[in-house]
A and B are shown apart, each in its own frame.
Chain A
Amino acid sequence: MPTPRPLSVIVPVRDGSATLARALTAILASELPRDDYELIVVDDASSDSSAELAARYADTVVRLTMRKSGAAYARNRGAELARGEVLAFVDADAMVRPDTLPRMLQMLSDQPGLDAVSASHEQIAGAPNLVSQYWNLLLHFGEQMQAGTTGNVASPCAVIRRQVFLSAGMYDEWRFETARLEGIEFAHRLEDSGRNVFSSTELTITGLKHWNVRSLCSEVWDRSALLARSLGYQRTRTAVPSDVVFTLSRALAPAFAVLCFVAFSAAFLPAPNAAVKGALVVLGTIALNFPAYRFFAKMRGIPFAIVVAPLHLLMQAINGLGLCAGWVLRDAVGDREPDAATQAYAEVGVEIWPPVPRASGR
């Protein structure tokens, strides 16, 4: 049999050629002997040259065809091939520091009772544009505010003992094709079975993805709706308060703004003019979002905080709407499920490649 290695690094990628090379180069620059780990890249039906690019660096490249199946599905395929005693999942748009993976391995080695360790985001984003910088800083803000509590064994970087990963049933492939919430659901299962997950704010990665307003709106909507629909708001808020959904929804600033505007218009006769109402609403939202704005100003200066304030408000509004949509769908339609053909194939147990997506832990 081939020689097992201590670590298998698994990188799922879909149309990630813009960031993949930097992510893989960073992994190869880790302070680990090259023979101590294998690098597996799983290409989730990319339409770009991600697979060919991955081949420049990886030990194994898995090409999933037919249809895009999501990061959870891709990670599971990588884990099935992995020979390492510990699995590391690193996003294709995440750049690990040279000491991130070695320190994570060391933590697992030093603490036999610890089963998984996840890293957090650095405050600086790899992409220089304003939206990317804002989003990375927001993720960093949530993780710093709720340090040590993140139950997310996936994004952007996490390690887990292989045996624990397999015995827990791996990631749920049915419900998480788009939003990156499979790690939270998996951490729920781990904790339910008495496993220990630790999130470190000292172990960090740099987010490389280039975000624009549209892609960010889509990300926030998907995360919020799926979280409310499939994971449950209250339970997830208790387990993973550092998630960006809760960072955005904690202040309820957009709802406050709308209520204030209506109240000012209806409660006072004669109604105050628009400028007064606007000023009051702005002051109220600033007050509610003060911790976040103060953090932005402290990290990047007051001009940055002022510039991203409207963007932050927009994300909060989309987040609130997404949560509402998720709740409605959960009550009206039920939890998210794949199409009937996939369910039928899974039930019958048809053996094909790529495998039929599987549900786990329900």
Chain B
Amino acid sequence: MDFSQGIAVVPVNAEISPAADRPSQAQAFADAMGMEKPEERRTTGPGYDRAKERGLPRRTPRVSLIVVLPENHVVSPDRLAEGLRAHGNQDVDVVVACAGQPTNLGALQRSVRDAQFLLAPAGTSTEDLRELAMRQVPGDIVTLLSGALLPAAGADTSLLMTS
């Protein structure tokens, strides 16, 4: 599949949050969910940032979490929180790969601050979304989290969904 057509990469809040000062994804999500705050990260600090800037070897792997949302699929906050918690205290780059335009972009932004959104054309398959997102993320360790099919009307409204 040619991914060069019809893909939009949307870094949410990127213009108002300098990368060095941003809280981690796990922290941001923990804030949003009212969770316990993670402890200080091993991968933060002036030494780590300088190494990244110079392209020197890193002490710890860069971690990315890809949330894959084909059309009519949702992901529950609990699953997302579990995906972030799996990496403990490390910084996690979160990328939400959607097929079609998410209807509740605001809710997604609030839940996962600093996330990047990859908006693929409607109808893009789960596998293609995964591959597309993999090409975009910088992580050495990349965890992929697939959404579930949209439940019937009246189901849990806290789910993050695409139309």
Q: Which A residues fall within an 8 A CB radius of B?
A: 1-3, 51-66, 81, 351-354
Give A356 Cβ to nearest chain B Cβ, in Å. Answer: 10
Nearest chain B residue, comparing its CB with the CB of A51: B134
CA distance A63 to B57 in the complex (A): 14
How far does the alpha carbon of A52 sit from the alpha carbon of B136 in the complex, in Å?
A: 10
* B131 adjacent to A353 (CB under 8 Å): no
Partner pick for B144 among A60, A351, A353, CB 8 A cutoff: A60
Which of B61, B130, B133 touches A353 (beta carbons < 8 Å)? B61
CB of B49 within 8 Å of the partner chain: no
B54 CB-CB contact with A under 8 Å: no
Does B85 contact A61, Cβ atoms closer than 8 Å?
Answer: no
Instruction: Tell me whether B39 is interfacial, beta carbon within 8 Å.
Output: no
Question: B140 at interface (Cβ–Cβ under 8 A)?
Answer: yes
26 contacts between A and B (CB under 8 A): A1-B85, A2-B82, A2-B85, A2-B86, A55-B66, A55-B130, A55-B133, A55-B142, A56-B128, A58-B144, A59-B144, A60-B141, A60-B142, A61-B134, A62-B140, A63-B139, A64-B140, A65-B140, A66-B57, A81-B141, A352-B57, A352-B59, A353-B57, A353-B140, A354-B61, A354-B140
Chain B interface size, as a band, is 20 to 34
B60-A61 in contact (CB<8A): no
Q: Which of B60, B82, B141, B144 contacts A55 (CB 8 A)?
A: B144
B130 — which chain A residues lie within 8 A by C-beta?
55-56
User: Please, how many angstroms separate the alpha-carbon atoms of A60 and B82 in the complex?
Assistant: 14
> Which of chain B's residues has its CB closest to A53's CB?
B131
0/1 interface trace, chain B 119-143, chain A, CB 8 Å (1 if under): 0000000011011011100011111
A66 to B141, CA, bound (A): 15
Which residue of B has the minimal Cβ distance to A21?
B127
**Binary interface encoding of chain B residues 51-85 relative to chain A, with 1 for a CB under 8 A from any of its CBs, else 0:** 00000011111100010000000000000001001
Report whether B57 and A55 are in contact in the complex, using a CB–CB cutoff of 8 Å: no
- How far apart are the CA atoms of A57 and B144 in the complex, in Å? 9
Q: How far is the CB of B33 from chain A (nearest CB, A)?
A: 16
Tell me the bound Cα distance from A54 to B62 in angstroms. 18
Closest to B58 in A: A353
User: In chain A, what residue has the closest Cβ to B128?
Assistant: A56
- Please provide the 7 A-B residue pairs with the shortest distance between their CB atoms, ordered closest to farther: A55-B134, A56-B127, A352-B57, A2-B86, A353-B61, A61-B142, A55-B130
For A63, list chain B residues within 8 Å (CB): 139-142
| CB proximity of B95 to chain A, nearest CB, Å | 11
With A52-B135, A59-B144, A65-B140 known as contacts, the answer to whether A353 contacts B60 (CB < 8 A) is yes
Chain A nearest Cβ from B87, distance in angstroms:
9
User: B57: which A residues are within 8 A, CB to CB?
Assistant: 66, 352-353
Given contacts A59-B143, A60-B143, A62-B61, 11 further A-B contacts (CB under 8 A): A52-B135, A55-B130, A55-B134, A56-B130, A63-B141, A64-B140, A65-B140, A81-B141, A352-B58, A353-B57, A353-B59
Enumerate chain A residues within 8 angstroms of B127, measured Cβ to Cβ: 56-57
Using known A-B contacts A351-B59, A353-B57, A353-B60, determine if residue A52 contacts B143 with beta carbons closer than 8 Å: no
- B144 to nearest A CB, angstroms? 6
**A354 — which chain B residues lie within 8 A by C-beta?**
61, 140
Counting chain B CB atoms within 10 Å of each CB, which of A3, A53, A63, A351 scores highest?
A63
Most chain B CB neighbours (cut-off 10 Å) among A55, A56, A63: A55
List chain B residues, Cβ under 8 A from A2: 82, 85-86
Q: How far is the CB of B51 from chain A (nearest CB, A)?
A: 10
A1 / chain B contacts, CB cutoff of 8 Å: 85
Contact partners of B66 in chain A: CB under 8 A:
55
A66 to B133 CA separation, bound complex (whole angstroms): 22
Separation of A59 and B143 alpha carbons in the complex (Å): 6
Chain B residues near A55 (CB-CB < 8 A): 66, 130-131, 133-134, 142, 144
Shortest distance between the CB of A2 and any CB in chain B (Å) = 4
Minimum C-beta distance from A146 to chain B (A): 39
CB neighbours of A351 from chain B (8 A): 59-60
Shortest Cβ distance from B42 into chain A, in angstroms?
10
Q: How far is the CB of B2 from chain A (nearest CB, A)?
A: 13
B134 contact set on A, CB distance < 8 A: 51-52, 54-55, 61
Tell me the complex Cα distance, A55–B68, Å. 11
Q: What residues of A have a CB within 8 angstroms of the CB of B58 in the complex?
A: 352-353
- What residue in chain B is nearest A66 (Cβ atoms)? B57
Bound-state Cα–Cα, A55 to B134, Å: 6
B143: chain A residues within 8 A (beta carbon): 59-60
* B residues in contact with A59, CB < 8 Å: 143-144
Separation of A3 and B83 alpha carbons in the complex (Å): 10
